[in-house]
Amino acid sequence: MRIAFYAPLKPPDHPVPSGDRRMARLLMAALVAAGHTPVLAARFKSRDGRGDPARQARLRALGVRLADRYLRRIAAHPSERPDLWLTYHLYYKAPDWIGPRVAAALGIPYVVAEASLAEKRRGGPWDLGHQATRDALAQADRVIGLNTADRDGVLDAIASPDRWVALKPFLDPAAFEAAAAARESSRADLVERWRLDPNRPWLVAVAMMRPDVKRDSYLLLGTALARVRDRPFQLLVAGDGLARTEVAAALKPLGKRVRFLGALAEDAVPPVLAASDLFVWPAIGEAYGLAILEAQAAGLPVVAGGSGGVGDIVLHGTTGLVTPVGDAGAIASAVAALIDDPEARARMGAAARRKVLAEHGLAGAARQLDAVFRELVPAAPA
């Protein structure tokens, strides 16, 4: 079937990499794998990060105009009419002003993948975005939940509980399988390029350096790792952004142990992960952490803060260690334990790869999404 795809926070062809962009692309790839034709319906970014009601009103007006323009285009070109509308990542800062209007006008199912709703936003500076999100969820024929932590809030808004469909975060494991097989050569390349010691465990963190919860996680990472300077390790940091100066200052106590790799292209991430020994991320304010899932796909054990849906993808004691959110001491203790125990790292890393292949692969997600859409549009061509 033909599926109109829209990501109000960041379109899948946005030039700046992020977990949101990767998941948007993965959703489109899963639709293709299931035999569907996803078509990017809009690139309109509806996010208001400042809590400015006037700006939100302007964004709403623009979204309505874009929805009407889309409907005029479909009227002029009926062959482009979608069978279903899919919006990815819906929340109060980035509501969907287009999809609900279009779906209602065309009489097609409206589906949301990944949504959150917090009643504490009602009446606040983002009240307009909050109410729009609630209205969109009320209209949604299905809400595909990638984060179990969002379920209760979403259930409060949707028409009936059976419209919530759980879908585990997923990825295409092919690149990570190839990287794991080429671990030794990738490790040798990194040793030469970054003057790393192959006899010391390599910790790795992959995240953009945005002045928000990403920065906060980096600051906590610096505090935690400063407590284990008595252990032999090196830290590889893949990412860049406006908060780089603050991140560098937070990691400065680690001295020459740190290597800043910069922002990596998506295809450069799997080899770095596979060549490393332990993924560490405090995960403050994280939904679930696609980079955490990618690290496990590459065969790495993980130490991560237990925010959001992190516990959905990291099995504590089996594929890694999950620590209380914001607890630098707990992160330090977990990292020290795994630095000291290479056998545990190897065992957890192997378990992590098995779990990703069994439960978080693109092929399985494609089948599940296909089943959801076929239920909503049973007459669509196979």
Residue 296 maps to a domain: yes
Beta bridge partners of 177: none
pTM: 0.91
Residue 83 confidence (pLDDT)? 97
Binning pLDDT at 50, 70 and 90, where does residue 317 land? Answer: very high
Q: Could you give the angle at the alpha carbon of 320 between the alpha carbons of 319 and 322, nearest 5°?
A: 130
Range of 303's domain?
174-359
Residue 45 maps to a domain: yes
Residue 382 pLDDT greater than 80, yes or no = no
Which tens digit of pLDDT belongs to each residue from 6-22?
Answer: 999 999 999 888 888 99
Same domain, yes or no, for 10 and 139?
yes
* Average pLDDT rounded to a whole number, residues 160-176: 95
Give dist(CA 42, CA 65) in Å, integer. 12
Residue 353 maps to a domain: yes
Structure tokens at 341: 């125990």
- CA dihedral (251, 330, 216, 112) positive or negative: positive
Share of the chain above pLDDT 70, in %: 99
CB 74 within 8 A of CB 80: yes
Residue 230 maps to a domain: yes
Give dist(CA 160, CA 130) in Å, integer. 19
Residue 179 maps to a domain: yes
The DSSP line for 178-206 is HHHHTHHHHHHHHHHHHT--TTSPEEEEE
Which tens digit of pLDDT belongs to each residue from 231-284?
Answer: 999 999 999 999 999 999 999 999 999 999 999 998 999 999 999 999 999 999
Residue 277 maps to a domain: yes
Look over the chain and give the mean of its residue pLDDT values, rounded to a whole number.
95
Which tens digit of pLDDT belongs to each residue from 340-366?
Answer: 999 999 999 999 999 999 999 999 999
Residue 382 maps to a domain: no
Same domain, yes or no, for 43 and 164?
yes
Which tens digit of pLDDT belongs to each residue from 38-74?
Answer: 999 999 999 999 999 999 999 999 999 999 999 999 9
- State how many domains the chain has: 2
Same domain, yes or no, for 228 and 99?
no
Residue 381 maps to a domain: no
CB 366 within 8 A of CB 30: yes
Same domain, yes or no, for 226 and 147?
no
Same domain, yes or no, for 183 and 306?
yes
Cβ burial of 381 (10 Å; 0-12, 13-18, 19+) is exposed
Phi-psi region of 225 (alpha: psi -120 to 50; beta: other; left: phi over 0): alpha
Residue 111 pLDDT greater than 80, yes or no = yes
Same domain, yes or no, for 88 and 196?
no
Question: Of 147, 141, 138, 175, which Cα lies nearest the Cα of 89?
Answer: 147
Same domain, yes or no, for 189 and 229?
yes
Binning pLDDT at 50, 70 and 90, where does residue 91 land? Answer: very high
Residue 380 pLDDT greater than 80, yes or no = no
Half-sphere exposure of 159 (CA within 13 A, CB side): 10
Share of the chain above pLDDT 90, in %: 92
Give every CB contact of residue 153 below 8 A, 6+ residues apart in sequence.
116, 117, 118, 119
Residue 369 confidence (pLDDT)? 97
Same domain, yes or no, for 365 and 324?
no
Same domain, yes or no, for 155 and 294?
no
CB atoms within 10 A of CB 335: 24
Binning pLDDT at 50, 70 and 90, where does residue 105 land? Answer: very high
Residue 287 confidence (pLDDT)? 84
- CATH number for the domain harbouring residue 252: 3.40.50.2000
Same domain, yes or no, for 17 and 151?
yes
Same domain, yes or no, for 140 and 62?
yes
Same domain, yes or no, for 141 and 272?
no
* Average pLDDT rounded to a whole number, residues 290-313: 94
Give dist(CA 247, CA 218) in Å, integer. 6
